[in-house]
Each structure stands twice: as structure tokens, then as C-alpha cells.
């Protein structure tokens, strides 16, 4: 009796497994989630492009290829495993116009044009192949090549907007031809060799020294000029004072300063005489 029960249970489990596999293989529906589109391929031929929703298909024969229609990010960094981008890679090593080696980290934000998915699948393949063949290849090549059009000082000073724009313009055109929309290209950082950084810093220090000495010289010249101006003003004041000291003015000044006492004079004998004693 127990053996019979176990046998029936075994057959039931096998039947459920077979039914589940059959369901998976013969499932006549495909679900496309929000933010996705699907290219339906039937025996190697594209038979339709579907947006979000539930869609019918021929089991086994029809195969959906899914694409994200949301914005995707490709990012280069020193630690790709720690990046939160959809696709990651290492920075680009190149050199500037004047031969300085540089290490460039950048971000590309893009999305596929859902109206061109049939051509995208036919010419490029699935999403991962798009990133590998277009996003990665085109961006790395153009970043490497276009950086060589700029002097190191232009990129070191942080003025990279022109460089960003040049790369973005090229990528935008190249991507559009393939059915990909460029949303953003940006440089997150450019690293220079230690020797170059030290040379620039030393040059900046020397420049600051020159400016400091120039400032001190200008301050000293200002102080000298101030003293000269002050001396000239005092000399002019004395000249004007002497010119104004006429005899009537001196007499009036003497009267204003007199305290009512007769002045004392010194005699030939050296004695001090009060003029009032001579009355």
C-alpha cells in the first residue's frame, strides 16, 4: 500500500515537472515591462517590435529580444566594480598636444531610439553589443584622439568645456546614425603625471613670488611717493607762511601773544633786567 502511494506521488511530481516545462516552452505570451521594448524574431526574421504590455507569440518559434528604452549610463573609473553605472569600464590613457600623458575619466548617458529598434537589431544586435560596438568603442576612440588637440595647460586648468563639446558633437552624430540618442557626455576627471603636476605647482609658486615682490615694490614706491608728496606739501606751506608774515601781521601776532608784562633783557654784565624796574 505504501509503495503504491509513493509510486503515485512520484508520477504526480514528474507530471507536474513535465507540465511546467511544457508551459515554459509553449507559453504563447511575452510580457514587455515599462521602460522596455522588444524585437520579436521568428526563425531569424524580425516580425514585430513591441512596447510595454502582454503580447502573443508562437511558442518556441518566436524569440523576443529586449531593449531598455530608459536612459543608460556608460562610465569609466579607476574602480569599475564600485560604480553604479549600467555599464562600466576603465579610464582612457592618452596624451595632450604637447606630449603630456593623461588619464581621462568620463560618463556617457544615452538611450536607444525605440522607433529604430528593427534596424538596431539587424545592424548591431542586442543591447550589450550596442554598448560594446558603439558606446564603448566610439567614445574611447574620440576621447583619446580629440584630447591630443589640446595643450596640457588648457586641460589642467579645468577649462575642459571645449574638449567636452568636441567629443559630444562627434558622438552625437555617430550615435544618431546608428539609432542611439546621446543625452550627455561629461569629463569627470583628468589626471596628469606627478612630474607635470610638480612642475606646474613650482611654476605657480614662482609666479606667486614674482607677484609678491612686485606688490612689495609697488608698496615701497607708494610710501616713497607719499613721503615726497608730504615733504613738498610742508615746504609749500612754509613758503606760503613766510610770504604771509608781513610786518603788520607780525606786530599783531606779538600783541595777541603779549601777557601784559614787559619783556626782560640781558645786560652786558649778564644780569637779567626787568624793564619795569627802569621806570
Condensed to tens digits (0 to 9), the pLDDT of residues 56-68 reads 888 888 999 999 9
Q: What is the pLDDT of residue 156?
A: 86
b/e burial code for range 54-75 (CB count within 10 A of at least 16 → b): ebebeeeebebbebebeebbbb
**272 touches 264 (CB < 8 A):** yes
Residue 101 has pLDDT above 70, yes or no: yes
Q: What is the pLDDT of residue 120?
A: 95
Q: What is the pLDDT of residue 273?
A: 46
What's the DSSP call for residue 245? Answer: -
Q: What percent of the chain has pLDDT over 90?
A: 51
Domains of the chain: 27-67 (no CATH), 72-198 (3.30.479.30)
- Whole-angstrom Cα distance, residue 38 to residue 49? 6
Average of per-residue pLDDT across 155-174: 92
Closest CA to 190 of 229, 164, 224: 164
Q: What are phi and psi of 108, to 5 degrees?
A: -120, 125
3-class DSSP state for residue 216?
Answer: helix
Q: What percent of the chain has pLDDT over 70?
A: 71
Edge to edge, what strands does the sheet with 36-42 contain? 45-50, 36-42, 62-68
Does the pTM surpass 0.75? The reply is no
- Whole-angstrom Cα distance, residue 40 to residue 160? 43
Q: How many CB atoms lie within 10 A of CB 180?
A: 23
Interval 2-31: pLDDT, tens: 667 766 667 778 777 766 676 666 678 899
Residue 182 has pLDDT above 80, yes or no: yes
Interval 235-276: pLDDT, tens: 766 676 666 656 666 566 656 665 666 555 555 555 444 545
In the block, cell 619795569 appears at 276
Lowest-pLDDT range of 6-10, 186-190, 212-216 = 212-216
List CB contacts of 108: < 8 A, sequence separation 6 or more: 73, 74, 75, 135, 139, 171, 182, 184, 185
Taking all residues of the chain, what is their mean pLDDT, rounded to a whole number? 82
Write out the three cell numbers for 102. Answer: 593623461
Average of per-residue pLDDT across 196-214: 66
Residue 42 has pLDDT above 80, yes or no: yes
Lowest-pLDDT range of 70-84, 167-181, 204-218 = 204-218
When comparing pLDDT for 215 and 48, which is higher? 48
Amino acid at each position: 500500500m505504501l509503495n503504491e502511494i509513493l509510486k503515485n506521488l512520484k508520477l504526480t511530481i514528474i507530471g507536474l515537472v513535465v507540465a511546467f516545462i511544457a508551459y515554459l516552452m509553449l507559453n504563447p505570451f511575452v510580457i514587455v515591462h515599462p521602460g522596455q521594448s522588444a524585437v520579436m524574431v521568428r526563425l531569424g526574421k524580425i516580425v514585430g517590435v513591441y512596447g510595454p504590455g502582454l503580447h502573443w507569440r508562437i511558442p518556441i518559434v518566436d524569440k523576443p529580444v529586449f531593449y531598455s528604452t530608459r536612459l543608460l549610463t556608460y562610465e569609466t573609473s579607476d574602480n569599475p566594480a564600485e560604480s553604479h553605472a549600467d555599464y562600466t569600464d576603465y579610464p582612457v590613457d592618452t596624451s595632450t598636444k604637447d606630449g603630456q600623458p593623461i588619464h581621462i575619466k568620463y560618463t556617457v548617458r544615452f538611450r536607444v531610439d525605440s522607433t529604430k529598434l528593427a534596424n538596431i537589431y539587424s545592424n548591431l544586435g542586442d543591447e550589450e553589443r550596442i554598448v560594446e560596438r558603439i558606446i564603448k568603442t566610439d567614445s574611447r576612440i574620440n576621447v583619446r584622439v580629440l584630447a591630443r588637440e589640446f595643450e596640457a595647460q588648457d586641460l589642467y586648468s579645468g577649462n575642459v568645456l571645449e574638449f567636452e563639446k568636441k567629443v559630444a558633437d562627434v558622438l552625437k552624430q555617430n550615435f544618431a546614425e546608428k539609432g542611439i540618442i546621446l543625452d550627455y557626455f561629461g569629463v569627470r576627471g583628468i589626471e596628469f603625471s606627478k612630474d607635470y603636476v610638480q612642475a606646474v605647482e613650482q611654476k605657480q609658486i614662482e609666479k606667486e613670488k614674482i607677484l609678491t615682490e612686485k606688490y612689495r615694490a609697488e608698496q615701497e614706491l607708494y610710501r616713497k611717493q607719499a613721503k615726497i608728496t608730504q615733504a613738498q606739501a610742508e615746504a609749500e606751506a612754509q613758503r606760503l607762511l613766510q610770504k604771509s608774515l608781513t610786518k603788520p601781521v607780525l606786530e599783531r601776532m606779538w600783541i595777541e601773544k603779549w601777557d601784559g608784562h614787559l619783556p626782560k633783557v640781558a645786560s652786558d654784565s649778564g644780569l637779567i633786567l626787568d624793564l619795569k624796574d627802569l621806570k
